[in-house]
Amino acid sequence: MNRARLRSEFPALAAEGPDGSVAYLDSACMSLVPRTVLAAMEEYYTQFPGCAGRSRHRFSTAAGERVEAARSAFSRWFGLGDAGPVVFLRNATEAINLVARGYPWRRGDRVLVSDQEHNSNLVVWQRLAEERRLRLHTFALEDDGRFDLDRFSAEVDRLRPRLISLFHTSNLDGRSLPVRAISEIARDRGAEVLLDGCQAAPHEAVDLKRIGASFYAVSAHKMLGPTGVGALLSAPGALDRIAPLNLGGETVEWSTQRTHRLRPPPYRFEAGLQNYAGILGAHAGLRFLARAGLEAVRRHQAALNRVATRALADEPRITILGPALPGDRPSILGFTLAGVDAHDVALFLDEGYRVLVRSGQHCVHSWYAERGLTGSVRASFYLYNTVDEVRRLVQGIQELLVRIPDRGGPRPLRANGPRSARSPERERRADPS
């Protein structure tokens, strides 16, 4: 797809202010929305604004047919065929919470997460450790992006977790985990795997049958879709073990004054009126990505990342987080700038260069706290970004380096070097047995 024509599909990029258009480099937080997604949502409200699956009239029938078409499309998109289990929810956070709170836990069951999880895949486990006496364990990742499968396998052997819950691609530094190998290790030890797919699904083809995870959570707002829509996908039969978080309309086959019968998955998890317009918008987002081609998207953003990384790699005050090679973190360039607060960097880039990046701790507060860091800057690339926008990013950073001289002092984390050894006391606190 021609880049100029593609960009014209996004209203937020088409509108120029007095200083020109913005360079939106924050798609890891939320992708922009194309006109076709907006049109699909408007079509629902203007042509068939009915309650899907409830009434028998034409509005309800049309809405229901399109929602089920969206469900089938998500199932196919993730390699599950036409009728894979797809639960529509508000976002990936709700999907993770559904699994966490609905799983048939036994007292003392163990859950294993990494030390770089988004709060959505950490806080719920901490709460369940208190409420249901689960045992939460943390697997420390190497700061340079490597993943030691042998060490991970040994840890799973030692802990024997019932569930392993990890990101597929990190929203902090863009690294991806070897999720198929992780699932194989888990399956061999009788554990199940839940993956946070928010940062992987917008950028690469995800075949859940091949990966072998039991559960996979995504959010539409990172896949060209609207906010307020997410999905939980699962292996066949996996949802049968999960209890619904909410009950009510559309979750039951029938009810009496004393009892009820639940509908089969996925419907038992979709209580009440759903965000039908959002679901149809999410489906339109998938169609747009299909036209663009995920492999082309990945190549494009990796090329943009190489331009930025090469321009900044030799600057001693900049520390790039995660893998050294941009091809190993194609959608994200995370970095710290010695002597400059991350929020100040973001404000300077916005006000001086109309470049929009994310600053702070990226909902991974635990990772920063462990290293004594206050935050970092994250530029994230997607299919609508251009080389010119990346050059503006680099130019802004270079000007900032000149404007704010190096005052010396300790440097932040050396992210591309080996991780320092953890003390026995710190290891014991982080990984109680």
Residue positions annotated with a catalytic role: 363
Looking at the chain, how many residues does it have? 433
- Residue 425 identity: E
Tokens of 10: 């996004």
Q: In what order do the strands lie in the sheet with 230-234?
A: 86-89, 230-234, 215-219, 192-196, 163-167, 110-114, 135-139
Q: Which residue has the tokens 């759903």?
A: 274
- The CA–CA distances, whole Å, from 274 to 74, 158, 224, 240 equal 16, 43, 19, 21
Residues 6+ apart with CB under 8 A from 255: 261
Tokens of 261: 């019968």
Q: CA 165 to CA 261: how far, in whole Å? A: 31
Q: Residue 373's CB: how many other CB atoms inside 10 A?
A: 16
